[in-house]
Amino acid sequence: MSWPHKDLLDVSQLSRDDVAVVMKTAASFREINARPVKKVPTLKGRSVVLFFAEPSTRTKTSFDMAGKRLSADTFALTKSGSSLVKGESLKDTVLTLLAMNPDAIVIRHGESGAAAFVAERVSCAVINAGDGRHAHPTQALLDAFTLLEKWGTLADKTVCILGDIAHSRVARSNVILLSMLGANVRLCGPRTLLPPSVDGWGVEVHSDLKKAVAGAHAVMCLRLQLERQQAGLLPDLREYAGRFCLSSATLTGADPDVKVLHPGPINRGIEISSELADAGQSLILDQVASGVAVRMALLHLFITRKDRGDKE
C-alpha cells in the first residue's frame, strides 16, 4: 500500500481513497485498544514530538496514547515549557526540534497556517492538531470514523453542525470531509457567529435551531470559543443558551435515532444540556475512543511511508 502524503495539514488534501485507507487502518488499530495489553511494536524506535502551543486535553492525550500504544517514544512540548515564551521564533523552535531528528511533529498552534509553516521547513512528517481557525483534520477524521462505525455510510445522512462556526477549525474541516463522504451538512448558529464567507461553503445555513435539526441524523455541537471572540458577538451566555443550547426538547424534530456529538470540552447547559450529553444517543465518549484509533492510524501511515518506498 502506498501512502502519498508527507504531512497532514487539512482534510482537503485527502482523496476519498485516502480517507478509506485511514478508516480501514483505524478499524484495525481499534482492536488493539480493546486488548488487556494495549501495545504493539509497530513504531518501536520511532520518536514523535507533541508540540502544543495551545491548551489541549483530548487531542494531546490521545496522540500521546496513540504513539505509546504503537511503541513510539513521545515527547511533549508546550508553549509555556518552550523558549517561545522567551521570544524565540516558531522557525527557530522548529529547527531546534528537527535537529533532534524526530520522525513526526504533531503541532497545535493559535495561528492559522502554523502547521504548513512548520511542514515547509522540516523533513519529518507534520500532523496538524489544530491551527487557529483554519483546520483540525484529525478531529474531522475521528468524527467521521465515529459516525461510520454507527451507520456504515454517510451517504444521504444529514449532519447539523451547531454553534460557534466563525471561530471553529473543527467546523471547517468537518464541512469538507463529511460532504466528501456524501453527507448533507447544515450549519446553525447566531449570525454573529457565522463567518462572512459561509454562504460560499456549499452547505445549508440556518439561524433557527428547530429548522436546522429537522430530520437531522446527527447534530454536532461546538464549544463557544470565547477566548477567540471580540466583545459584542454575543449579548450574553444566557440568551445564547436559550436559543441554541441542544436539548431533548430542541431535538424533537430530528430523526428518531439522532446521534449527538461534541468535540469537547463541553460547556454544559450552554452548548448542550447535561441530560443530553449523558444520554444513550450521545457519541461524545465514542469520539474520544475513536480519537486514539484514528491517531494511531495516522502516526502509522505518516511515519512508515518511507519504509514502504513511498515518494514525496
Residue 83 pLDDT grade (very low, low, confident, very high; cuts 50, 70, 90) = low
Name the residue type at position 268. Answer: R
- Residue 281: the pLDDT is 97
> What fold does the segment set 137-287 form as a domain?
Rossmann fold (3.40.50)
The total number of residues shown for the chain amounts to 312
- pTM of the shown model: 0.93
Q: What angle do CA 251, 253, 259 make, to 5 degrees?
A: 50
Residue 312 pLDDT grade (very low, low, confident, very high; cuts 50, 70, 90) = very low
Residue 89 pLDDT grade (very low, low, confident, very high; cuts 50, 70, 90) = confident
Q: Which residues are annotated as a binding site?
A: 58-59, 86, 108, 136, 139, 169, 223, 264-265
CATH code for the domain defined by 11-135+290-308: 3.40.50.1370
Task: Report how far residue 63's alpha carbon sits from residue 291's, in angstroms, rounded to the nearest whole number.
Answer: 8
The pLDDT tens digits for 37-52 are 999 999 999 999 999 9
Residue 25 pLDDT grade (very low, low, confident, very high; cuts 50, 70, 90) = very high
Task: Report how far residue 305's alpha carbon sits from residue 312's, in angstroms, rounded to the nearest whole number.
Answer: 10
Name the residue type at position 1. Answer: M
The pLDDT tens digits for 225-266 are 766 555 556 657 888 899 999 999 999 999 999 999 999 999
Q: What angle do CA 278, 32, 152 make, to 5 degrees?
A: 60
Mean pLDDT for the stretch of residues 89-109: 91
The pLDDT tens digits for 8-24 are 999 999 999 999 999 99
Mean pLDDT for the stretch of residues 152-175: 96
User: Counting beta carbons within 10 angstroms of the beta carbon of residue 100, is it exposed (0 to 12), middle (13 to 18) or buried (19 or more)?
Assistant: exposed
Which residues lie across from 206 on neighbouring strands? Answer: 188
Q: Which three cell numbers stand for residue 79?
A: 508553549
Q: Which region, left, alpha or beta, applies to residue 56 given φ > 0 means left and ψ of -120 to 50 means alpha?
A: beta
- Residue 273: the pLDDT is 97
Which residues lie across from 73 on neighbouring strands? Answer: 47
Q: What percent of the chain has pLDDT over 90?
A: 79
Task: Report how far residue 206's alpha carbon sits from residue 195's, in angstroms, rounded to the nearest whole number.
Answer: 13
Where are the chain's structural domains?
Answer: 11-135+290-308, 137-287
Q: Which residues are annotated as a binding site for L-aspartate?
A: 86, 169, 223
Q: Which residues are annotated as a binding site for carbamoyl phosphate?
A: 58-59, 108, 136, 139, 264-265
Q: Which three cell numbers stand for residue 15?
A: 482523496
Beta strands per DSSP E along the chain: 47-52, 73-78, 104-109, 125-131, 158-162, 184-188, 204-206, 218-221, 259-261
